[in-house]
């Protein structure tokens, strides 16, 4: 069976997340992709996504795969064909043939997310769809100290949204980089996997440290305590973007 991998970028502002919610009539990224594929192929196509991004979350490097069956469209022409029927806030940026056992979600070895903060006394409407506005001064030295404590293999139970069951809350955060060269502050999280709302809760926690609500060392107590109420707030979705998904193939 022909298995095709696509890299997809999208502005998630108008969507109720990536995952299709069948029978609800809600607008989703998966739903738009599958409708486009159906229009091109004349058959029902189900796509698998690497990350089930929430409502309002964006992507530059979301990865999907699907079984193409008897498709006769050359792989290299799929982006051009799909971009002709997708809405303007979704784009296929790359396509390739992959082995039959490739799975966009389960074959991934790492994901990288970026959270963007607009740090200025005055908001800029041009950035409001893609960043979280924070008007107060941020202590970036303290933020980096706290980020270093989060890096590594830990039980991130305190950084998981309540009511989201999962077999294990242990994850390996390979790196957490803080870039503050302008009014746009970017936090880059690269790990082997992320719990529900984990990046947004970690960002909220780091902001608490940066705004001097508690010291960097408090992050260690949050990890050890394993309780959601110990960590910072869940920051809004619009600052979050799935940047890259990596595979061993």
pLDDT digit string (tens) for 16-69?
A: 999 998 778 899 999 999 999 999 988 899 999 999 999 999 999 999 999 988
The third-level CATH classification (topology) of the domain covering 3-98 is Alpha-Beta Plaits (3.30.70)
d(C-alpha 6, C-alpha 18), whole Å: 15
Q: Which residues, 6 or more positions from 86, have their beta carbon under 8 angstroms from its beta carbon?
A: 32, 33, 36, 92
Q: What is the pLDDT of residue 167?
A: 92
pLDDT digit string (tens) for 94-121?
A: 999 999 999 999 999 999 999 999 999 9
Residue ranges, comma separated, of all CATH 3.30.70.660 domains in the chain are 109-247
CA 28 to chain centroid, in Å, comes to 15
Residue 205 reports pLDDT greater than 90:
yes
Q: Which of 54, 89, 177, 192 is catalytic?
A: 54
| 54 classed as catalytic | yes
The CATH class of the 109-247 domain is alpha beta
Q: What is the pLDDT of residue 242?
A: 99
Task: Identify the three-state secondary structure at position 109.
Answer: strand
- DSSP 8-state code for residue 13: G
**What φ, ψ does residue 219 adopt, rounded to 5°?**
-60, -35
Residue ranges, comma separated, of all CATH 3.30.70.580 domains in the chain are 3-98
Record the pTM: 0.95
Where does the pLDDT of residue 223 fall: very low under 50, low under 70, confident under 90, or very high at 90 and above?
very high
Mean model confidence pLDDT for the chain: 96
Q: What is the mean pLDDT of residues 157-165?
A: 90
User: CA Rg, the chain, in Å?
Assistant: 19
Q: Which residue is associated with the tokens 């970017």?
A: 186
d(C-alpha 157, C-alpha 159), whole Å: 5
d(C-alpha 184, C-alpha 14), whole Å: 23
Closest residue by Cα to residue 92 from 149, 153, 29: 29
Question: Where does residue 226 fall: left (phi above 0), alpha (psi -120 to 50 degrees), or beta otherwise?
Answer: left
């Amino acid at each position: 069976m022909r298995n095709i991998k696509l890299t997809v970028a999208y502005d998630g502002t108008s969507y109720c997340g990536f995952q299709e919610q069948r029978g609800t009539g809600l607008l989703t990224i998966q739903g738009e992709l599958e409708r486009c594929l159906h229009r091109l192929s004349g058959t029902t196509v189900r796509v698998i996504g690497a990350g089930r991004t929430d409502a309002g979350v964006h992507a530059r490097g979301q990865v999907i795969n699907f079984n193409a069956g008897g498709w006769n469209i050359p792989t290299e022409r799929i982006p051009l064909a799909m971009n002709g029927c997708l809405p303007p806030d979704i784009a296929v940026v790359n396509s390739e043939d992959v082995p039959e056992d490739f799975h966009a979600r389960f074959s991934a070895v790492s994901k990288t997310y970026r959270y963007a903060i607009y740090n200025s006394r005055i908001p800029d409407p041009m950035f409001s769809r893609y960043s979280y506005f924070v008007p107060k001064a941020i202590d970036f030295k303290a933020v980096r100290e706290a980020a270093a404590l989060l890096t590594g293999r830990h039980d991130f139970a305190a950084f998981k949204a309540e009511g989201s069951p999962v077999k294990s809350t242990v994850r390996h955060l390979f790196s957490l980089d803080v870039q503050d060269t302008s009014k746009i502050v970017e936090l880059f999280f690269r790990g082997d996997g992320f719990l529900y709302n984990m990046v947004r809760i970690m960002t909220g926690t780091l902001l608490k440290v940066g705004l001097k609500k508690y010291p960097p060392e408090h992050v260690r107590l949050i990890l050890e305590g394993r309780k959601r109420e110990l960590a910072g707030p869940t920051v809004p979705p619009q600052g979050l973007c799935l940047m890259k998904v990596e595979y061993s193939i």
